Amino acid sequence: MNPGYELPVDDVNYNFAFLDEFAKREIRRNILKAISIPGYQTPYASREMPMGRGFGTGGLQLTLSLLGAGDTLKVIDQGADDSVNAVNLRQFVELTCPGANTTERAVEANIIQSRHRIPEDKLTADQILVLQVPTPDPLTIVEPSEARRKIMHGEGDYAPLLTRLYEDIVQFDEIAISNRYPTRLNGHYVIDSSPIPRFDVPKMHQSAALILLGAGRERKIYAVPPFTDAVPLAFEDVAFRTEAFLDSKGNRRQCDRCTSVTSYLDEIIHPDGSRHWQCSDTGYCNDRCVQRQNAECEEARS
Amino acid sequence: MGYVAIKGGGKAIAGAHTAVESLRTAEGEGGSPLPLASIEHQLRLLTSRVLSEGGLYHPRLAALAIKQMQGDTLEAAFALRAYRSTRPRLMETPTQSTSGMRLIRRISSAFKDIPGGQMLGPTMDYALRLLRLDLADESPETFRKVSRQFIKDAPDSDLPDSFPKVVDALREEGLLPPQPDRPDSPFDITREPLIFPVPRSAALATMARAETGSLLALAYSNVRGYGNVHPTIAELRVGYVPVMLPHPITGEPTEAGEVLMTECEVVATQEGAESGAPPLFSLGYGACFGHNEVKAIAMAILDRALQKGMQDGADCPSEDPEFVLLHVDGVDSMGFANHYKMPHYVTFQSEVDRLRTTQEKDAAHTKAQGAES
Amino acid sequence: MPEPSAVARSEPLLAGSDLLRFWHPAMQQTLFRNLLKAFSYPGESVWLADTDSAVAILATLVDAETTLSDPHQLLSDLTRTRLNAPLTDPERAGYVIVCGDLEPDFAPQLGSLESPETGATLVVVVNSLFNGPCWQLSGPGVRQSRRIRVGGLDESWLNARNNWCSGFPLGVDLIITDQQYCLALPRTTLIEDTGAN
């Protein structure tokens, strides 16, 4: 380094949405191709972001390419807005996207970035859901070579994957895949539905909202376009089943907090060893608690 | 009834940041912050490594990254890469030649003597790895005197500006195939994703910013037996390569600066020479920013292995381009390993659901069998 | 679902005839979101610009890393310079801009089974997105079905497009635009001519 060189310490103004315009344009081009070929894993260059690969950089690059002043973003992780990773991503967007708003209420957001959950509130055509994906290719478990997997996808050849599911049934009498459930879009490509629980997979089917999936480390973008068939792989005699949350008597468990009996629940072990259940979608749970409080106030008043 | 706190994530992050900074300054009252110049020079090999794995030649920023990341090479290289994402690309250099390298070190293990001569330069290869306890309490005076004395004693150089390359001599003798045609534009791994099969330029670029330890492990696997490269180092050179850019007005190539690089060319015995063609040696090439000989050698071995794999199909992991190139990037592999620390309780719940279901079915099955017998 | 044009119009527009405004980062983001709407809901007309919407589309999608073809010479030299994309023939380009009232007498890139995304994006400039023969659309992004009218398109286009898109995942993706609006017909959209005018 030249002896007289000084670091440009004043030069810390980052571009709107961090990425340079060429990077955004490349991602945007690929988003449109991903929508045109539902479920196809469109390769893109994937820039390094200032958080770890695997912490949502793929989803984040999609969000940053979508966001503009006036948009309202919700970021969730495990269903919660206040999970450390969600906070980190939200703070980064607030830092680099002046003019964009953030919210914790799904109904107020027009862009929702999420890891591991699809919100309980039904999404609308005015919303876009961005899901973070660690491992985008469902064929990885049966074929390690990407070159060969690309041909299998192109031909719609999922026989080895179905065989793997069948082996599960022989061994366990059940399909043992818990999350990242392989799901077929529009009768052709099978996608990794991202590590959402099976509970959320049916929400992809004929969703009014566009769903974009981004894998930063694996450099892939894919999409579930609105109003598109999304069918989890299954067999005629062994159905796809979502998490049931039944207690020992076969009754549906409810959320300790908001009493919902239709939501995905987190199992919580208290210090005394007792088990409790609570909504994983904290925004949904909070809204229901507020509604219940309001209703109780109304009752008390009348 | 207690509920799990769903607030506090932001506070926890701020607290973690404070804790990290407190450890950086834990020397307390007697401590003083590390100047970047000291990191750049006294920890020059660490800086080299970060420069090369970060894929950005900026020694001062590399030093800053080392300081900020408290010496973690993976994190420091990562910070450089993220910084690079924000910089627009203003120009592309034409292909640079290393023949004009201003050498600080150059050796060949293939010949006793080489045109231009062997030049050991700054190497610890033949130093005894005995701890120098005198460095534990080095006075600034002694420290500065070493540098002063070196400059004073240095003879007026009669070294030429550049040295001939050993592989050129081997080519002239017909022991190596002629230089392959250069691709019109090398594959740009920062702008295009790797879709296999990839050209050799994509493999070289990926390895040039790969994590040193990952490259070393894979190259080692090859030469130890999970592969068949028997390398001899034709030439290993370390020095400053002038970076030529077209002059903005005249368009003439103009020296815009120089970068410290390590370059290694290994010669290997040709496996299964094409029928009819005369047998020849084959070449493996490695090069990276900074002074990092292990990385350049490992890369050269892997380049040879991958060329073989690309031509004849892979017989071992280190010959498989997909296996090697998708697993040597430090930022990618470190990110993936780290992401397991994030909360995964939703998917874990889902896994528990599957396990309980299969356990119940198993129990029912066993019970039914017990009833039968 | 609200009119998508309302989304676009609520953004501050950098008015003026200067086409350079299409490259302003905030404008690029707005244009992209409208194109995204068009691709998400095929057949839905989306407002893009007061004029020169085809340039707005290319400015949002094309740069030096893509290839462009302009066989009907629809772009000015200045616009081509700004797009900065290497020009090639329509058989090889990733992005092709053509005049809809001319017969599609070329064979665009359809992509391959392994890499279908290399199928071309065709920007087709027409007279009107409101008057003309009536097509019925179905497929991803279309709830049940939707009818559109496109005016000023050579009658051989529908067949040509349906042939190019007959072997999914191979195919081309169309953006049809007049001066102000556009609609998208990705390769998954099934198009039938209703015969109504």
Interhelix angle B44-54/B59-68, rounded to 10 degrees, is: 100
* Mean pLDDT taken over chain C: 91
> Which of C13, C39, C44, C121 should one mutate to test binding to chain A, selecting the residue with the greatest count of A CBs within 10 A?
C39
Whole-number Å distance between alpha carbons of A261 and B66: 51
In this predicted structure, the answer to whether residue C120 has a pLDDT above a threshold of 90 is yes
Interchain pair A154, C116: CB under 8 A: yes
The predicted pLDDT at position A104 comes to 92
Handedness of CA A136, A141, A144, A147 (dihedral sign): negative
| Mean pLDDT, range A187-196, rounded to an integer | 96
| Mean pLDDT, range B322-326, rounded to an integer | 96
C39 close to C61: Cβ distance less than 8 angstroms: no
The predicted pLDDT at position B270 comes to 65
In this predicted structure, the answer to whether residue C43 has a pLDDT above a threshold of 80 is yes
- For residues C96-110, one letter each, b for 16 or more C-beta atoms within 10 angstroms of the residue's C-beta and e for the rest, the string is bbbbbeeebebebbb
B85 close to A47: Cβ distance less than 8 angstroms: yes
pTM: 0.88
In this predicted structure, the answer to whether residue A176 has a pLDDT above a threshold of 80 is yes
| Ramachandran class of B290: left when φ > 0, alpha when ψ lies in -120 to 50, beta otherwise | left
- C186: which chain A residues are within 8 Å (Cβ-Cβ)? 35-37
| In the block, residue with structure tokens 């992509």 | C111
In this predicted structure, the answer to whether residue A1 has a pLDDT above a threshold of 60 is no
Strand partners, C185: C174
| The token pair that represents B183 in the structure block | 């691709």
| The token pair that represents B48 in the structure block | 């080299």
| In the block, residue with structure tokens 């290289």 | B77
The predicted pLDDT at position B153 comes to 85
Measured in degrees and rounded to the nearest 5, phi and psi for residue B228 equal -140, 25
Whole-number Å distance between alpha carbons of A159 and A148: 14
Nearest by CB to B9, from A87, A116, A268: name it: A87
In this predicted structure, the answer to whether residue A24 has a pLDDT above a threshold of 50 is yes
C173 close to C189: Cβ distance less than 8 angstroms: no
- A29: which chain C residues are within 8 Å (Cβ-Cβ)? 61, 66
Q: What is the pLDDT of residues C55-105, one digit of tens each?
A: 999 999 999 999 999 999 999 999 999 999 999 999 999 999 999 999 999
Interchain pair A188, C40: CB under 8 A: no
Whole-number Å distance between alpha carbons of B269 and B277: 15
Whole-number Å distance between alpha carbons of B303 and B308: 9
ipTM exceeds 0.90: yes
Q: What is the pLDDT of residues B13-26, one digit of tens each?
A: 889 999 999 999 99
| Mean pLDDT, range A96-101, rounded to an integer | 94
The predicted pLDDT at position C17 comes to 58
| Residue C13 binned pLDDT confidence (cut-offs 50, 70, 90) | very low
Nearest CA in chain B to A146: B196
Strand partners, A221: A42, A214
Touching check for C4 and chain A: CB below 8 Å? no
C-beta contacts of A68-71 below 8 A and 24+ residues apart:
A68/A99, A68/A100, A68/C11, A68/C26, A68/C29, A68/C30, A68/C33, A69/A97, A69/A98, A69/A99, A69/A100, A69/C26, A70/A99, A70/A100, A70/A101, A70/C10, A70/C11, A71/A100, A71/A101, A71/A110, A71/A111
Which amino acid is present at A10? Answer: D
The predicted pLDDT at position B271 comes to 54
| Residue B7 binned pLDDT confidence (cut-offs 50, 70, 90) | low
Q: For chain A, give percent helix, strand, coil, nearest 5.
A: 30, 20, 50
Interchain pair B6, A178: CB under 8 A: no
Interchain pair A150, C115: CB under 8 A: yes
- B365: which chain A residues are within 8 Å (Cβ-Cβ)? 173
The predicted pLDDT at position C15 comes to 38
**Over chain B, what HEC string results?**
CCCCCCCCHHHHHHHHHHHHHHHHCCCHHHCCCCCHHHHHHHCHHHHHHHHHHHCCCCHHHHHHHHHHCCCCHHHHHHHHHHHHHCCCCCCCCCCCCHHHCEEEEEECCCCCCCCCCCECCCCCCCCCCCCCHHHHHCCHHHHHHHHHHHHHHCCCCCCCCCCCCHHHHHHHCCCCCCCCCCCCCCCCCCCCCCCCCCCHHHHHHHHHCCCHHHHHHHHHHHHHCCCCCCCEEEEEEEEEEEEEEECCCCCCEEEEEEEEEEEEEEEECCCCCCCCCCCCCEEEEEEEECCCHHHHHHHHHHHHHHHHHHHHCCCCHHHCHHHHHCCCCHHHHHHHHHHCCCCCHHHHHHHHHHHHHHHHHHHHHHHHHHHHC
Residues of A belonging to the active site: 39, 255, 258, 279, 285
Touching check for A254 and chain B: CB below 8 Å? no
Sorted by sequence, the CB contacts under 8 Å of residue B215 that are 6+ apart come out as B207, B295, B298, B299, B302, B328
Sorted by sequence, the CB contacts under 8 Å of residue A298 that are 6+ apart come out as none
> Which of C117, C121, C165 should one mutate to test binding to chain A, selecting the residue with the greatest count of A CBs within 10 A?
C117
Helix extents (H) in C62-143 = 77-83
Interchain pair A36, C188: CB under 8 A: yes
B167 close to B110: Cβ distance less than 8 angstroms: no
First-to-last alpha carbon distance for chain C, in angstroms, is 27
Give A80→chain B minimum CA distance, Å: 7
Q: What number of other Cβ atoms are within 10 A of residue B271's Cβ? A: 14
| Environment class of B181 (CB within 10 Å of its CB; exposed 0-12, middle 13-18, buried 19+) | exposed
The predicted pLDDT at position C9 comes to 36
- A82: which chain B residues are within 8 Å (Cβ-Cβ)? 6-10
The predicted pLDDT at position A3 comes to 61
Touching check for A228 and chain C: CB below 8 Å? yes
> Which of A14, A18, A33, A53 should one mutate to test binding to chain B, selecting the residue with the greatest count of B CBs within 10 A?
A53
The predicted pLDDT at position B342 comes to 86
In this predicted structure, the answer to whether residue A11 has a pLDDT above a threshold of 80 is no
CB < 8 Å from B in window 57-86 of A = 57, 77-80, 82-86
Q: What is the pLDDT of residues A213-269, one digit of tens each?
A: 999 999 999 999 999 999 999 988 888 999 989 998 999 999 999 999 999 999 998
- A229: which chain C residues are within 8 Å (Cβ-Cβ)? 140
Nearest CA in chain A to C173: A36
A213 close to A180: Cβ distance less than 8 angstroms: no
The predicted pLDDT at position B369 comes to 85
- A66: which chain C residues are within 8 Å (Cβ-Cβ)? 29, 32-33, 36
Q: What is the pLDDT of residues B202-258, one digit of tens each?
A: 999 999 999 999 999 999 999 999 998 999 999 999 999 999 998 888 989 899 999
Nearest by CB to A82, from B7, B88, B89: name it: B7
> Which of B6, B7, B60, B66 should one mutate to test binding to chain A, selecting the residue with the greatest count of A CBs within 10 A?
B6
Chains that touch C (3 or more CB pairs under 8 A): A
C81 close to C61: Cβ distance less than 8 angstroms: no
Whole-number Å distance between alpha carbons of A239 and A228: 21
* Mean pLDDT taken over chain B: 89
Q: What is the pLDDT of residues C46-63, one digit of tens each?
A: 999 999 999 999 999 999
CA distances (Å), origin C121, targets A224, A277, B107, C161, C174 = 20, 50, 54, 12, 6
The predicted pLDDT at position A9 comes to 66
The predicted pLDDT at position B217 comes to 98
Between B243 and B372, residue with greater pLDDT: B243
Interchain pair C28, A21: CB under 8 A: yes
Q: What is the pLDDT of residues B256-308, one digit of tens each?
A: 999 999 999 999 976 555 556 677 889 999 999 999 999 999 999 999 999 99
Q: Maximum CA pair distance of chain C? A: 44
CB < 8 Å from A in window 57-116 of C = 60-61, 63, 65-66, 112-116
CA distances (Å), origin B74, targets B13, B337, B338 = 21, 12, 11
Sorted by sequence, the CB contacts under 8 Å of residue B190 that are 6+ apart come out as A45, B55, B84
In this predicted structure, the answer to whether residue B3 has a pLDDT above a threshold of 60 is no
Closest CA to A103 of A116, A95, A94: A94
Helix (H, G, I), strand (E, B) or coil at C74: coil
Whole-number Å distance between alpha carbons of B70 and B84: 20
Q: Which DSSP symbol is given to C22?
A: G
- A63: which chain C residues are within 8 Å (Cβ-Cβ)? none
The predicted pLDDT at position B4 comes to 43
| Residue C7 binned pLDDT confidence (cut-offs 50, 70, 90) | very low
Interchain pair A117, B346: CB under 8 A: yes
The predicted pLDDT at position B359 comes to 87
A153 close to A189: Cβ distance less than 8 angstroms: yes
Whole-number Å distance between alpha carbons of A38 and A15: 31
The predicted pLDDT at position B274 comes to 56
CA distances (Å), origin C181, targets B302, C34, C100 = 54, 10, 15
In this predicted structure, the answer to whether residue B164 has a pLDDT above a threshold of 90 is no
